[in-house]
Amino acid sequence: MGCDKALLELDGQRLIERMLSIARAVDPDARIVGSREKFSSYAEVVEDEFPGCGPLAGIHAALHSSRTELNVILAVDMPFVEPKFLRYLAGQTVASGATVTLPQVHGRWQPLCAAYRRNFAEVAGTSLREGKYKIDPLFRQVEVRAIGEKELCEQGFLAQMFQNLNTPEDLNPVRSQQTVAERRASKS
C-alpha cells in the first residue's frame, strides 16, 4: 500500500477508527495489536512478542494478553465487516465449544475475522518459536467451527464483507463508489 493501512481514510475516517468502532459495537474493551507509539491515542495497545512474524504473531499477542476466554480478532483492512456478524461469530463459538470459529469464503479461511479461545495462544506461540508463521495449518491442531458461504447467506451476511484493502487497486474502486454516492446525495 506504500503506507500504514490503519491510517488510510475511508468515508472521512481512518481505517483504525472505523475498525475500532465496529469492534466496540461488540465489546467496548477493543484493543489494538501494533505499535504503542503509533496507536496509543486510539485505544489500549498490545505489542507483538514476536515482531516481524506476521498476522500469527498479532493473534498470539492479542490472545496471550487477553483477560477473557473468548476473543474476536479483526484485521484493520476489512472495513466492511458488520458488528452483527462479529456477534454471530462469538455466539457460534460459545455454542460449539470450538477453539476457533471462522468464515471460509471462496475456499479460503478468514483467520483475521475470527473468534479464538485464549488457549490458541499456546498453539500459535509454539508455531512462532519454531519459525512457522502460517495460520491455516494450525487449524488442524484444534477444534474449528467453520462458517461457510451457505450459512453466511442463510444468516443474511454477504461474503463481500471480507474484502481486504491490501493495495491501492483495492482501495480506489471503493473510494470511487463513495464519490459517486456523495454526488448523488448532494443532488437530492
**pLDDT tens, 78-87?**
999 999 999 9
The predicted structure's pLDDT at residue 164:
82
3-state helix, strand, coil in the chain (%, to 5): 45, 15, 40
Q: Are strands 113-117 and 70-74 parallel, antiparallel or unpaired?
A: antiparallel
pLDDT tens digits for range 3-19: 677 888 878 889 999 99
Measure the CA–CA gap between 55 and 73, rounded to whole angstroms: 10
The predicted structure's pLDDT at residue 177:
47
* Among the listed residues 80, 106, 100, 70, the one whose alpha carbon sits nearest the alpha carbon of residue 11: 80
Using CB atoms within 10 Å of the CB of residue 174, give its burial: 0 to 12 exposed, 13 to 18 middle, 19+ buried.
Answer: middle
pLDDT grade, residue 135 (50/70/90)?
Answer: very high
The CATH code belonging to domain 5-187 is 3.90.550.10
Helix (H) or strand (E) holding 10: strand 9-10
Is pLDDT of 36 > 70? Answer: yes
Is pLDDT of 184 > 60? Answer: no
Cell of 103: 468464515
The predicted structure's pLDDT at residue 165:
74
Prediction pTM value: 0.87
- Rounded to the nearest 10 degrees, the angle between the axes of helix 15-24 and helix 83-96 is 50
For the segment 94-106, the average pLDDT, to the nearest whole number, is 97
